[in-house]
Chain A
Amino acid sequence: DGGITQSPKYLFRKEGQNVTLSCEQNLNHDAMYWYRQDPGQGLRLIYYSQIVNDFQKGDIAEGYSVSREKKESFPLTVTSAQKNPTAFYLCASRQIGTLSPLHFGNGTRLTVT
Chain B
Amino acid sequence: RKEVEQDPGPFNVPEGATVAFNCTYSNSASQSFFWYRQDCRKEPKLLMSVYSSGNEDGRFTAQLNRASQYISLLIRDSKLSDSATYLCVVNGNAGGTSYGKLTFGQGTILTVHP
Chain A residues engaging chain B, CB cutoff 8 angstroms: 31, 33, 35, 41-45, 48, 50, 56, 58-59, 88, 90, 94, 96, 98-107
**Per-position binary interface string of chain B over residues 3-33, scored 1 when its CB falls under 8 Å from any chain A CB and 0 otherwise:** 0001000000000000000000000000110
Contact of A99 with B49 at beta-carbon distance under 8 Å, contacts A42-B107, A43-B44 already known: yes
Contact sample, A vs B, 30 pairs, CB 8 Å cutoff: A31-B100, A35-B104, A41-B106, A42-B87, A42-B104, A42-B105, A43-B87, A44-B104, A45-B101, A45-B102, A45-B103, A45-B104, A50-B100, A56-B98, A56-B100, A59-B103, A96-B100, A98-B32, A99-B32, A100-B32, A101-B46, A102-B44, A102-B46, A102-B89, A103-B46, A104-B43, A104-B44, A104-B45, A107-B42, A107-B43
- Determine the main DSSP class of B at the interface with A: loop
Q: Do residues B105 and A56 form an inter-chain contact, with CB atoms below 8 A?
A: no
| Residue in B closest to A104 when the chains form the complex, CB atoms | B43
Residue in B32, B102, B105 with the greatest tally of chain A CB atoms within 10 Å: B102
Asked whether A33 and B102 contact (CB < 8 A) given A99-B32, A101-B34, A104-B45, the answer is: yes
Residue in B closest to A41 when the chains form the complex, CB atoms: B106
Q: Contacting B31 at CB < 8 Å: which of A43, A48, A94, A98?
A: A98
Which B residues lie at the A interface, using CB under 8 A? 6, 31-32, 34, 36, 41-46, 49, 51, 87, 89, 91, 94, 97-98, 100-107
Distance of B20 from chain A, by nearest CB (Å): 19
Look across to chain B and name the residue whose beta carbon is closest to the beta carbon of A33: B102
A59–B106 Cα distance when bound, in Å, is 14
Q: What's the Cα separation between A10 and B31 when bound, in Å?
A: 35
Q: In the bound complex, how far is the Cα of B105 from the Cα of A96, in angstroms?
A: 21
Instruction: Please state if B104 and A98 are interface contacts (CB–CB under 8 Å).
Output: no
Given the known inter-chain contacts A33-B102, A41-B106, please indicate yes or no for A98 contacting B94, CB distance below 8 A.
yes
Most buried by B among A43, A48, A88, A96: A43
User: B98 contacts which chain A residues (CB < 8 A)?
Assistant: 56
| Cβ A48 vs Cβ B100 within 8 A | yes
